[in-house]
């Protein structure tokens, strides 16, 4: 089994081209669920999750309403 690189929130939003609030909204809506969390409750995503989010168009769309 090949281990996939885990990406933190800051790098994730940069790769997706979205804000942290948008990332949080995607998580609340169940569109992007963290693959792991650290002991200090920091979220981590896999590169394949981020690719799938981009391909699905979930990262694009209406701006944050927060």
Is 37 within 8 Å of 44 (Cβ atoms)?
yes
Is 59 within 8 Å of 53 (Cβ atoms)?
yes
pLDDT at 7: 94
pTM listed for this prediction: 0.76
Average pLDDT for runs of 10 along the chain of length 66: 84 94 93 90 92 81 49
pLDDT at 66: 47
Class of domain 6-56: mainly alpha
pLDDT at 33: 92
pLDDT at 3: 74
């Amino acid at each position: 089994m090949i281990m996939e690189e885990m990406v933190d929130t800051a790098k994730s939003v940069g790769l997706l081209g979205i804000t942290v609030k948008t990332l949080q909204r995607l998580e609340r809506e169940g569109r992007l669920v963290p693959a792991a969390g650290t002991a200090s409750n920091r979220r981590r995503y896999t590169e394949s999750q981020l690719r799938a989010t981009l391909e699905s168009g979930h990262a694009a769309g209406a701006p944050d309403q927060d």
